[in-house]
Amino acid sequence: MYDRSDPRSSLGKDTKAAAARVHESFFGSQVALFHETEPQVGDGNGRTWISRGQNFVVAYSEARAGGVFARADQPDEYAVIIPDGETRVAITTADGTTEVPGYSLAFVPPGRSEIRMLTAGTIVRLFTPKSKDMADAASNADAFAGPHPNVPPFEPWPEPPDGLRLRWYTLDVPEDPSRFGRIWRCTTFMVNYLTPRVGPRARDKVSPHHHDDFEQCSLALTGEFTHHLRWPWTTNMNVWREDEHLFCGSPSICVIPPPAIHTTTAEGQGVNQLVDIFSPPRMDFSMKPGWVLNADDYPMPKG
């Protein structure tokens, strides 16, 4: 349910509606409050908090200048968010070294790679669970020891026609009221760097909606948020769940599982910056012309 001014109100209108799915069981939300907990890794490179969903792992690092974050045998493409304009990194792959400025998003190819911090700052790395070392290090790894029936197994999207290589994109993109946020995708992730909101969200224009078969990770970079979740009532009362209203400061993540009805309200008086993460990319967003800013680089699945 979207306000008419929300670009998402047009989703699905250009495709045949899918049959309603009845879920037989539910899985609860997951919250990681990085600002209130000890990091999973603390060393000469900085402090790193790690948490996960079924199809993704988030590693949030407060990195020191000169710190190095290396992957020796990375199995698939991973993403790097550099949220602050003052932060600079050098990313090395088999093709060489590229300096990437702050306020950018980078997609790093499989194999050997290295992120070297040219300044101190924050970086956020996004992996699939194929990066088993990262998945096992997650603070909530036990919650995902078994499968969750409402999320299909991860399948990567097609590779670019010219192959996988380091690609990076500035987050400094002009606003467009016909587009929802600022969206990029690769073979493993879709990242929506939402428009920052100054002050609390108006309570008369929220957007409760649900996803049938994919999870959403909401990464809070600055500000404060409440994630509101409600599960459908089914004929089996044994699987009903209570509503949740999860207050999260920043930095933090909230993993929203399907088919929870959900919406998020910004609460902070200052700048509230949220980033929505999906793995693999969302088809409905990808089908909207102009929404995915690097759609020419990464093709959609055939059919």
The answer, yes or no, to whether residue 2 has pLDDT greater than 90, is no
* Res 10: pLDDT: 74
CA–CA dist 231, 254 (Å, integer): 16
* Res 111: pLDDT: 98
Angle at Cα 227 formed by Cα 257 and Cα 58, nearest 5°? 60
CA–CA dist 118, 184 (Å, integer): 25
The average pLDDT across 237-250 equals 96
Instruction: Quick: pLDDT tens for 133-180.
Output: 999 999 999 999 988 889 998 999 999 999 999 999 999 999 999 999
Predicted confidence band at 16 (pLDDT cuts at 50, 70, 90)?
very low
* Res 3: pLDDT: 66
CA–CA dist 241, 230 (Å, integer): 8
> What does the block give as tokens for 277?
């993460």
* Res 17: pLDDT: 46
Predicted confidence band at 9 (pLDDT cuts at 50, 70, 90)?
confident
Q: What are phi and psi of 294, to 5 degrees?
A: -115, 35
Sequence-distant (≥ 6) Cβ neighbours of residue 99 within 8 angstroms:
88, 89, 90, 118
* Res 193: pLDDT: 98
User: Which has more pLDDT, 184 or 149?
Assistant: 184
CATH number for the domain whose boundaries are 7-286: 2.60.120.10
Residue type, 129: P
Q: How far from the centroid of its chain's Cα atoms is residue 36's Cα?
A: 20
Closest CA relative to residue 168, chosen from 229, 104, 262, 235? 104
CA–CA dist 143, 16 (Å, integer): 35
The average pLDDT across 211-230 equals 96
Predicted confidence band at 238 (pLDDT cuts at 50, 70, 90)?
very high
The answer, yes or no, to whether residue 55 has pLDDT greater than 60, is yes
The answer, yes or no, to whether residue 48 has pLDDT greater than 90, is yes
